[in-house]
Structure 1
């Protein structure tokens, strides 16, 4: 039986490595979003800085490992075999839950997940113990769970949402009032003072304050102080004001020298320092979430082996003692985290979600508006109008001047433009770093994801990034993310409890099955994600028009037309094939393709404003051409959408299969349409635009063919057809195909006419 615990320790070690990988993929958003969003420095430089911060922060996390040992449950009330059940169920649940969120590209909290997993598993095992003890009832659950500490952690996590959002908004509002969007034109001393405050905050709370979370805090700095040695931590507390004052003055002077004489952008320096500091704070605060449980399990195993007592009798009171994590293990964990940071593609998706929601400019929105987001926006607008009515006119005029973004002309939205400026990025990093570091120094596992995300949302709100064009979508996005956080807590508690119960019932066999399922799901999700990523890269996505000349717009539109007809042909063929074989899964998958096309067309239409703004004065006529092209692309996508959705609906509702003759006719139409679109693609591939006339002449032949099929179906309906649903679907597909051909011909005619000008 002893061997099973050795195998469990090995499994937990492997799960720890996997958890580090999926955890960092999720939490990279915490320290990368500000630097990447502002594009202050190159991506490679950002990654190097963050890697150094993560590696250094790993060393500062030892003090927080006690959360996994005694922060949630009372270890003395459990035996070794029960503790191992708790730890195993927690790690399996944690990996699967975080991987799910990573695959969805949604940031969630590793702290919340580990806390509620420990709580769920511990509650389950405690209830099992209570159920087998006639002397105990549900009222005794409190003696097994460290309710006071657990409540403190949970309340701290939830409170961090409000605090981070409020402080982020307040600091950004005050900063923007003083510095404005045209901050590069402000006096040098303004930037120097801001640099001094920001850098001092970062250095104090991350470097100095962070020392209190480690064993270095107990170092003796003075042996002769009234007979009582003075530790490094005590020295800092005693001399807090002088250290802060000297640091602020020194860093302000250094900032002024850098700005005035070396012509250094101080905001970039703040972003570099802040990224390093936030990465350090992340590793110091969140490493417990990934390896705290396996390390606690290893310590438990060593104590149990040394005791010689049976596993079901050995009390785990030893976990209640203070313990230091070996530095070598922390460094190894840091290396894995750094490697994950460099090579995880899922991390980039999670970062993108946060950046999109805090973006200053308008653009395509990932999230759809809903009734709740609309209601919140309307309420805030009403409150804002009420406050505006009572605010002094001079103050309103002053704030409008300070928040005037026209001071920095922005007429385009190129793909390489930053999501927000360096001032906001600096505030994000400074505020988030301070909040996280305070919690770390108090050995309270704060959710770094909640803090950094809500700080970013607060600063974007204060910066008026959520304007009338985007507010409902941004609020909907924030609500989706926060809703995901609550889902994390509920699912983590429930899943860990269920797994703990299953392991209790089935023992080693269930553990083996659960590990197999976990590995299978991780591999499957990874392969599906990679396949999806490759598919997106290989697929010819529609590109926004960025040219400012007529010829440039023509060339870009040619590429979009070629891509569009090629993908439309595949979707049409997929719908007919799925209908012919009555394959619901294929039809469902086919609908995703049309959803992507519709979203891309919508993005192009959203970009029309910036496209027109970017045109040269001599090329304004290109706007009519571009708008017409987009209109016909949308007409084509609507026709393809009808064909795809109508086919899916027919099969999904289990309606009667189409007749053989109907399928035969549709396959013939599909073949003709495929040839038709292939000719168009060939024209734009070879840029042989003279052949467009020949293709346009094929319109009547295609129409005649479709008309013939319609007449045949009319005859079948009168004589032999007995399915109204089949008839409706068949006629709908033929008529929509005619509309599809008409829109395509209009597209080609518009392009041909523009080339002749």
Structure 2
């Protein structure tokens, strides 16, 4: 009984944590469209989603039965056995989903729970087989394998179907409305908007209100289903006339209204259907515990779980207000998570970035498969263009012309795609989800929403030649992550079930502590990554891009910040090598890689800005581009320094001799002081003492030449070690390049600032 009490309490606590972890990943399903198109301020979008979460939570009772008998057969388990499986499943679910949140990868919590239950049940069947010393236990009696495989097959089909439908619908929509749709198509937008609202309401009826116990308490809800065709026609007519009136009278953006309503609907659908993934298992355990106490039995091993087939929650949801309170509190926890979770933002940003209209910093590196896919697609595209009449090709091109491919800026952030694509994302996903429910075909909301968004991005030509390999690589990575989810969920639950079964309540507590430790470590890791993203994230200024003042102010700040970081990397690298501090060298190496990405990203951004500079500023802009060229080369030298030094110490090779360390320490002190003077000049933008810095540079180059000659003499005398001597010489060579590029950067930036001031 000690184990049962501890397990039930533990499951209650794990349910709260799993709610936070789960909604952090699944929130992208209903936030992606509104956040990416900046339909409204972020907080307003959150509040709309919160209302949907609250209503959906109260309608989730029917889905709670899935945790009881959807994947496993409770009657084949004893009470203790099922509790062991439930604890293992919850612990694995938290660790697994939080790992995906940390990486910013959207995944399916439904798939995770299904395969965790299968893994736990499979482990228990092996345990019972071993203990009973019989030839076999009928696994199918414990696990609904047929349903599990139907779910998997449905998900595979939904991935392909959602992607293709997203491409087709978005292509047709863009051909009709083009990118220049503002203040146009009032009548057509009203009709399409009415159809969109009707499709979303249809999803609400099917996913949110379909087949729930609310009909027993509130019979008038049943009217919505009984007369749904008439109601849907009325909603279409009413919404069309409302859109037409407001469109003609007030020029409202009809797709914006569709996106907001769709956000509410998908949030409600998510809560109604996916809340079971987070609290369904703990609720099933608590109900079982209540029934066991009421039975009066002394040992839980003999307690039958046949009662689970009766649907306790569905039957008592509105008569026992305890469940109402639980679901309401769940909605509140999910709402707070929306507002507070940084990991939820990371997951949302991943999907939004993969679908953004313009190119820029790309998170994913291209893979061989992504290159092959893009190459073949371009070949097919060229063939298709050749087969089509030129008039048709020119017409299609005209519909895809837009004034500016760069993201627009709002008070609350950056617009990554327009409201037309956002509304298509929501409407197509809603229709597919509704059809899946109507035909009783298992679909994953996460997979459908994500693949529709990727399909519309492709159809909108968001994946251009400059970004296609990166975006395709990102999509493939996330697709692989989905199958990785299923494998890890099954294996993890299998292992933890074994551990908890043989380790008892102590193993359960230790496993929960392991989950807590994992949450802490991933939080720290995520914070570090967020800091990197903060640096790498493109900063959009209020000034127009064709303004030289923008280049002078913002660009100068970027150069100064880069130099500060470069100075830090140089110091950490050489000091870490002198001290043989592998952690310091690892930090320096990571900072150098981040700085390299940041520099290249900034260079691309300012090159784009330079391309829009007016003719009067061409000469000034030339100096600025030159300065960034030198900065890029300087950072490349730092990367050439940090990587071999880190690998040398990481491989446990011998360090420098005392004379080498002394020489390198003196060089480090001199170069650090040199960097400090340059950074001060950049901060003040006062280049009057540039000649002094040139003299300082000449002195340092002569000094490092002296160090090189000293090292050659040591080698001739047989002093030092070959491997570290080569590294020492490489450091001197790269340091010389750093000194040369830094002065050239300073001169180019001086010429740029002086030229800008003379133009003003």
What is the TM-score with the length of structure 2 in the denominator? 0.93
1: CA distance, partners of 2:717 / 2:336: 70
SS in 1 for 2:300: coil
In the alignment, structure 1 residue 58 sits paired with structure 2 residue 47: no
Q: CA deviation at 1:86?
A: 0.4
CA separation of 1:295 and 1:446: change in aligned 2, threshold 3 A:
farther
In the alignment, structure 1 residue 254 sits paired with structure 2 residue 251: no
SS in 2 for 1:361: coil
What does 1:286-435 correspond to in 2, within 5 Å?
A: 286-309=274-297, 310-324=299-313, 325=317, 326-402=323-399, 404-406=400-402, 408-410=403-405, 416-435=413-432
Structure 2 gap ranges (5+): 318-322, 756-760
Q: Which one is further off, 243-252 or 89-98?
A: 243-252
Q: CA deviation at 1:192?
A: 0.5
What does 1:448-487 correspond to in 2, within 5 Å?
A: 448-487=445-484
Q: Which one is further off, 523-532 or 302-311?
A: 523-532
Q: Which one is further off, 709-718 or 655-664?
A: 655-664
CA separation of 1:410 and 1:522: change in aligned 2, threshold 3 A:
closer
SS in 1 for 2:491: helix
Partner of 2:673: 675
8 Å CA contact 2:536, 2:601 repeated in 1 = no
Q: CA deviation at 1:296?
A: 0.8
Partner of 2:608: 610
Structure 1 residues 524-553: Cα deviation after superposition (integer angstroms, max 9, x where no partner): 32244345546876x798967865333442
Q: CA deviation at 1:609?
A: 4.9
SS in 2 for 1:30: helix
2: CA distance, partners of 1:327 / 1:476: 44
Give the alignment partner of residue 630 of structure 1, picking from 628, 638, 643.
628
2: CA distance, partners of 1:55 / 1:240: 23
CA separation of 1:454 and 1:131: change in aligned 2, threshold 3 A:
same
Partner of 2:758: none
Give the alignment partner of residue 702 of structure 2, picking from 704, 707, 725.
704
SS in 2 for 1:621: helix
CA separation of 1:56 and 1:622: change in aligned 2, threshold 3 A:
farther
2: CA distance, partners of 1:513 / 1:180: 58
Q: CA deviation at 1:511?
A: 1.0
Q: CA deviation at 1:379?
A: 1.9
What does 1:549-698 correspond to in 2, within 5 Å?
A: 549-698=547-696
SS in 2 for 1:466: coil
In the alignment, structure 1 residue 268 sits paired with structure 2 residue 256: yes
2: CA distance, partners of 1:217 / 1:375: 54
Partner of 1:279: 267
Q: CA deviation at 1:165?
A: 1.4
Partner of 1:112: 111
8 Å CA contact 1:165, 1:454 repeated in 2 = yes
Q: Which one is further off, 431-440 or 117-126?
A: 431-440
Structure 1 residues 404-425: Cα deviation after superposition (integer angstroms, max 9, x where no partner): 223x444677695411111000
2: CA distance, partners of 1:690 / 1:555: 19
2: CA distance, partners of 1:571 / 1:48: 43
CA separation of 1:444 and 1:476: change in aligned 2, threshold 3 A:
same
Q: CA deviation at 1:350?
A: 1.0
Structure 1 residues 344-374: Cα deviation after superposition (integer angstroms, max 9, x where no partner): 1111111111011001112121111111001
Structure 1 residues 108-131: Cα deviation after superposition (integer angstroms, max 9, x where no partner): 111111111111111111121123
Structure 1 residues 470-523: Cα deviation after superposition (integer angstroms, max 9, x where no partner): 111110010011111111111111011000011111111211211111112212
SS in 2 for 1:386: helix
1: CA distance, partners of 2:393 / 2:700: 64
SS in 2 for 1:40: coil
SS in 2 for 1:688: coil
2: CA distance, partners of 1:220 / 1:518: 42
Partner of 1:6: 5
8 Å CA contact 1:587, 1:644 repeated in 2 = yes
SS in 2 for 1:298: helix
1: CA distance, partners of 2:583 / 2:715: 30
1: CA distance, partners of 2:648 / 2:409: 42
Q: CA deviation at 1:397?
A: 3.8
What does 1:74-93 correspond to in 2, within 5 Å?
A: 74-93=73-92
Q: How many matched pairs? A: 742
Partner of 1:227: none
1: CA distance, partners of 2:416 / 2:86: 41
1: CA distance, partners of 2:540 / 2:653: 41
Partner of 2:320: none
8 Å CA contact 2:624, 2:748 repeated in 1 = no
Q: Which one is further off, 317-326 or 92-101?
A: 317-326
Q: CA deviation at 1:392?
A: 4.6
What does 1:35-74 correspond to in 2, within 5 Å?
A: 35-74=34-73
1: CA distance, partners of 2:648 / 2:584: 13
8 Å CA contact 2:74, 2:305 repeated in 1 = yes
SS in 1 for 2:415: coil
Partner of 1:228: none
What is the TM-score with the length of structure 1 in the denominator? 0.93
SS in 1 for 2:707: helix
Structure 1 residues 169-227: Cα deviation after superposition (integer angstroms, max 9, x where no partner): 22212211222212225331111011111111112221565211421245686xxxxxx
CA separation of 1:220 and 1:414: change in aligned 2, threshold 3 A:
closer
Q: CA deviation at 1:570?
A: 1.0
8 Å CA contact 2:560, 2:679 repeated in 1 = yes
Q: CA deviation at 1:594?
A: 0.8
2: CA distance, partners of 1:560 / 1:604: 8
1: CA distance, partners of 2:134 / 2:522: 47
Q: Which one is further off, 720-729 or 521-530?
A: 521-530
Q: Which one is further off, 747-756 or 491-500?
A: 747-756
Structure 1 residues 440-461: Cα deviation after superposition (integer angstroms, max 9, x where no partner): 6778774222121111001111
1: CA distance, partners of 2:718 / 2:59: 80
Q: CA deviation at 1:376?
A: 0.9
